Structure 1
Amino acid sequence: MGSRSLCRPARRRFSLSGLEVSSHNEKLQDTIPGSRRRAILFGERPAGETPSLHTRLAWVQAAPFFRGLSLGQCAEIATTGREKTIPSGHHLFRQGDSASFVFIIASGLIKITQLTESGKEVILRVKGSGELVGGAELLTGRTHRSSAETIEPCQLLVWEASTFKAYWTQFPVLLDNAVNILDQRLRLLEECFRDLATERVPQRVARTLLRLLERSGSPTHKGPIYLSCEELAQMTGTTLFTISRLLCQWAEWGILQPESKAIIVDNLPALINVAKGTEGLCDQAHTATDDTSTRMREVTSVGDSRPSAAFRDIVA
């Protein structure tokens, strides 16, 4: 991995809640030395100890791949990981590279791509906070079948492949978690194939944007989504021209703001309506001679439904 891929680690502080500590304190004592244990439990830090241990432990506990592990087991895994901040547009690995590192995304988005025989890049999926990157190849012992590139600044937890592979046998629950993650990925692929076969372009684009919002971890579900029009076209099986025209149309109606390398959602309920197949209202509004405010009332009408619940239904 080149020097551009791994930069100086960002540092953040984290302290555990008393309830969480009291339920696992006994197991933690058997895992790490007293000085490190005090640092984790009480926020204390011995001389020479960096605060990143707190951050790494928090990230491990939040990742679905490590679900079911005790606090002590999570602490053991966290101590072997390295905290890294990666700028946008950097590759973690490329298609054909050997599997040397494994990553957990703490924040940010990473696109997984493949190159066709003609050299065209195709986006397979986008991964977000809490997701594992580069772990599947450890089971097969093969090289990477795809490339991983940051599409926005990312905070990562990184392990050497040999270190991470040992945890598969040390903690059997990780294999169960891996199966569940693969099952979720298969469900998402099936959903994408169904959308491609049955849904119109506006619905496919809206659903894709909602999935990306969910992965971005944005508390307001507004973004920004760091994705170009060309990348969005790849993900939704349409053309760059169609995406550009559609986003400009939605911008006119106040649904979102397309920028050069990002999209900001201004009206989540309207985007949910499009994803649910009510974009016919948008078509009527576009062809009508009413003013913009009238068109917006048609587009954003959601009745008595709650946007948060509708959002969860779409991305589930």
Structure 2
Amino acid sequence: MISETGCVDGAPRSTFASRLGRITLSDFRKLGTTRKFTAGDQLFMEGDAPGNVFLVESGSIKVYMISPAGTELILGFRGAGDLLCETSALEGIPRSTCGTGRVDGEVTEVSRSAFRSFIRRHPEAMAHVFSVIRDRLRDSDQERLSYASESVAARVSRKLASWAAMYGSPEPGGKVVIRGFSRRELAQSVAAAEKSVDEVLVALRAAGLISTGRLQIVMNDPHRLLSWPLAQP
């Protein structure tokens, strides 16, 4: 699981903060104000004017978009070390996503002007910002391809495998457990109806690939998750 130091099961994640280095990161933090947020707090909204950037210090933030029909599409969960709202601040365009606290934590909030001045003084930081933007664009392209070409079963299996790699805790016998994610969040993360996702989870349980509990999914055989949809009629 992601720790407050931005680690996944003890291994460092590649984040904006981890790429900056200790001294440059300290300089960046001095430009802003660190504040607490709780689950459900709205940090920013899609369509907001360009403004502050956020460095996640601890906790988790749900990043999502809202369809014209009012449905949420979850783009991801950002943890310690992640930078948010950087594209809007750089380009001076309205924010393209919403951000809500998911797990209580803290963010360092840096004004747009201070952020832009910082990356002008630190060209290596600009390179890291571009790396963050590139990685997210690549992930977005892969998600769009998935929505257009994969079944709900394939999308659910792939998302569970991804969450297992990012947030999972190993269990005896090669199992992996992910905790704290609801079925609704899973449905919103794969752009599918909750009923359709429930049907996939029932099929995965019947195949012996997962077991479920309250806000908990155990992957009994994580390696078979991605190949399982291919065998379905």
Could you list the per-position Cα deviations for residues 204-241 of structure 1 after superposition, in whole angstroms to 9, with x for gaps in the alignment? 1121123234444x554522143x32332232232211
- Given candidates 171, 175, 187, the residue that maps to 2:126 is 175
Could you list the per-position Cα deviations for residues 118-162 of structure 1 after superposition, in whole angstroms to 9, with x for gaps in the alignment? 333333343334221111111112232221112333343332333
Please name the residue that 1:224 is paired with: 179
Which letter does structure 1 place at the counterpart of 2:228? T
- Given candidates 232, 235, 248, the residue that maps to 2:189 is 235
- Gap change, CA 1:178 and 1:125, over 3 Å in 2: same
User: Helix, strand or coil for the counterpart of 1:100?
Assistant: coil
Please name the residue that 1:134 is paired with: 85
Which letter does structure 1 place at the counterpart of 2:64? T
Q: How far apart, in 2, do the equivalents of 1:161 and 1:87 lie?
A: 23
Q: CA deviation at 1:250?
A: 3.5
- Given candidates 224, 228, 231, the residue that maps to 1:278 is 228
Q: How far apart, in 2, do the equivalents of 1:190 and 1:232 lie?
A: 19
Q: How far apart, in 2, do the equivalents of 1:189 and 1:209 lie?
A: 17
Structure 1 or 2: larger strand share?
Answer: 2
Alignment size in residue pairs = 219
- Gap change, CA 1:215 and 1:85, over 3 Å in 2: farther
Q: How far apart, in 2, do the equivalents of 1:108 and 1:207 lie?
A: 24
Mind listing any 5+ residue stretches in structure 2 that lack a counterpart? 6-11, 171-175
Contact residue 55 and residue 107 of structure 2 kept, 8 A:
yes
Q: How far apart, in 2, do the equivalents of 1:168 and 1:209 lie?
A: 36
Structure 1 or 2: larger helix share?
Answer: 1
Which letter does structure 1 place at the counterpart of 2:210? I
Please name the residue that 1:265 is paired with: 218
The structure number with the bigger radius of gyration is 1
Which letter does structure 2 place at the counterpart of 1:139? L
- Gap change, CA 1:232 and 1:70, over 3 Å in 2: closer
Contact residue 17 and residue 81 of structure 2 kept, 8 A:
no
Q: CA deviation at 1:94?
A: 1.3
Please name the residue that 1:290 is paired with: none
Q: How far apart, in 2, do the equivalents of 1:266 and 1:118 lie?
A: 33
- Given candidates 195, 201, 205, the residue that maps to 1:247 is 201
User: Helix, strand or coil for the counterpart of 1:265?
Assistant: strand
- Larger RCO: Structure 1 or Structure 2 (Cα < 8 Å, ≥ 6 residues apart)? 2
Which letter does structure 1 place at the counterpart of 2:145? R
Question: What CA RMSD, in Å, does the superposition of the two structures yield over aligned residues?
Answer: 3.2
Q: How far apart, in 2, do the equivalents of 1:272 and 1:154 lie?
A: 33
Please name the residue that 1:58 is paired with: none
Please name the residue that 2:74 is paired with: 123
Contact residue 64 and residue 130 of structure 1 kept, 8 A:
yes
Mind listing any 5+ residue stretches in structure 1 that lack a counterpart? 1-11, 15-60, 285-316
- Gap change, CA 1:250 and 1:87, over 3 Å in 2: farther
Contact residue 33 and residue 110 of structure 2 kept, 8 A:
yes
Q: How far apart, in 1, do the equivalents of 2:179 and 2:165 lie?
A: 12
- TM-score normalised to the size of structure 2? 0.76
Contact residue 159 and residue 190 of structure 2 kept, 8 A:
yes
Correspondences of 1:1-316 after superposition (within 5 Å): 64-66=15-17, 69=20, 71-216=22-167, 218=168, 220=170, 222-226=177-181, 228-251=182-205, 253=208, 255-259=210-214, 262-267=215-220, 270-275=221-226, 277-279=227-229
- TM-score normalised to the size of structure 1? 0.58
Contact residue 64 and residue 98 of structure 2 kept, 8 A:
yes
Could you list the per-position Cα deviations for residues 140-197 of structure 1 after superposition, in whole angstroms to 9, with x for gaps in the alignment? 1223222111233334333233332321211111221122222212221232233333
Q: How far apart, in 1, do the equivalents of 2:75 and 2:13 lie?
A: 24
User: Helix, strand or coil for the counterpart of 1:186?
Assistant: helix
- Gap change, CA 1:238 and 1:70, over 3 Å in 2: closer
Which letter does structure 2 place at the counterpart of 1:235? S
- Gap change, CA 1:213 and 1:280, over 3 Å in 2: closer
